[in-house]
């Protein structure tokens, strides 16, 4: 799917981020992020961390590609707010146009909400995930990852396949119909978030669903946002 344009009626980041930041005392060291997991490569945390390191290394190894945010761990509400704040500040410092900042911001909100509200938990009740935001001369690239219960994986894949199979106009129509009819997919409100991300990104979604154990799947989603 290749989309053009965006959704009307979405909130503006300029006021929202001030409200979010007022709820926390910002610090780069307020969460246990980036701590190496157990050396046991079969653990859920170890599996996800190895994927995180591989994606981050691919950013670092590509000439002209720069990771600007890279975080792994358990995503609390406060930590999500700090990611939003730091991302917006880095885009402002880079003197990106406001429309691009808004687009990246809203896609990031949906990605973080998918991790926070739809991510499964491991046997230790940890909601593990990661986010990496990178930049090259043509795009901002957002990679998110979280755990998915194996029982929900098929409906998630079906929803992603449906989104990928639609052009912008058809996807926008589906989005508006879903809003109007109050329809919630078998994967819950995550379907709305995925549609929003696809519409705002104006590019194809790339995703990976991979079995970790008998109960959990690893889900990685990548979106590109054109700079020009």
Tell me the per-residue pLDDT of 36-92, one tens digit each, with 9 for 90 and over: 334 334 589 999 999 999 999 999 999 999 999 999 999 888 889 999 999 999 999
In this structure, are residues 62 and 54 in contact, taking their beta carbons and an 8 Å threshold? no
For residues 122 and 40, give the distance between their C-alpha atoms in angstroms, rounded to a whole number: 15
Structure-block tokens of residue 188: 């819950």
| Position with higher pLDDT, 169 vs 185 | 169
CB count, 10 Å around CB of 60?
12
The alpha carbon dihedral of 70, 104, 82, 196 has a sign of: negative
Instruction: List the beta bridge partners of residue 221.
Output: 144, 207
CATH number of 13-149+206-226: 3.30.565
Q: What is the pTM of this model?
A: 0.77
In this structure, are residues 111 and 74 in contact, taking their beta carbons and an 8 Å threshold? no
Q: Which residue has the tokens 């990685």?
A: 220
Domain-wise residue ranges, the chain? 13-149+206-226
The pLDDT, as a whole number, for residue 180 is: 78
- 94: region left, alpha or beta (phi > 0 left; psi from -120 to 50 alpha): alpha
| Averaged pLDDT for residues 118-142 | 93
The pLDDT, as a whole number, for residue 82 is: 93
Structure-block tokens of residue 59: 């950013």
In this structure, are residues 73 and 45 in contact, taking their beta carbons and an 8 Å threshold? no
In this structure, are residues 120 and 127 in contact, taking their beta carbons and an 8 Å threshold? yes
The pLDDT, as a whole number, for residue 178 is: 80
Is residue 19 very low, low, confident or very high in pLDDT (cuts 50, 70, 90)?
very low
The DSSP 8-state label assigned to residue 152 in this structure reads: H
How far lies 191's CA from each of 26, 101, 155, 183, 212, in Å? 31, 24, 10, 10, 23
Q: How many residues does the chain have?
A: 228
Of the candidates 172, 94, 99, 162, the residue with the CA atom closest to the CA atom of residue 134: 94
| Position with higher pLDDT, 28 vs 55 | 55
In this structure, are residues 73 and 128 in contact, taking their beta carbons and an 8 Å threshold? yes
Q: What percent of the chain has pLDDT over 90?
A: 52
| Position with higher pLDDT, 185 vs 124 | 124
């Amino acid at each position: 799917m290749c989309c053009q344009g965006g959704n009307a009626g979405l909130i503006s980041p300029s006021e929202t981020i001030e409200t979010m930041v007022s709820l926390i005392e910002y610090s780069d060291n307020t969460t246990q992020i980036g701590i190496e997991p157990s050396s046991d490569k079969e653990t859920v945390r170890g599996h996800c961390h190895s994927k995180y390191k591989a994606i981050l290394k691919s950013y670092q190894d590509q000439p002209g590609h720069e990771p600007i945010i890279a975080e792994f761990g358990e995503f609390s509400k406060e930590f999500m707010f700090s990611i939003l704040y730091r991302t917006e500040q880095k885009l402002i410092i880079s003197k990106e146009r406001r429309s691009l900042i808004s687009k990246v911001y809203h896609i990031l909100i949906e990605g973080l909400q998918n991790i926070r509200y739809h991510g499964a938990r491991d046997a230790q009740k940890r909601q593990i995930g990661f986010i990496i935001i990178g930049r090259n001369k043509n795009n901002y690239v957002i990679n998110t990852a979280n755990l998915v219960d194996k029982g929900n994986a098929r409906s998630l894949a079906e929803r992603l396949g449906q989104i990928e199979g639609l052009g912008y106009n058809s996807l926008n129509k589906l989005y508006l119909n879903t809003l109007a009819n109050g329809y919630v997919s078998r994967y819950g409100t995550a379907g709305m978030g995925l549609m929003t991300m696809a519409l705002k990104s104006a590019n194809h979604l790339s995703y990976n669903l991979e079995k970790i154990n008998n109960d959990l799947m690893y889900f990685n989603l990548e979106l590109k946002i054109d700079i020009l």
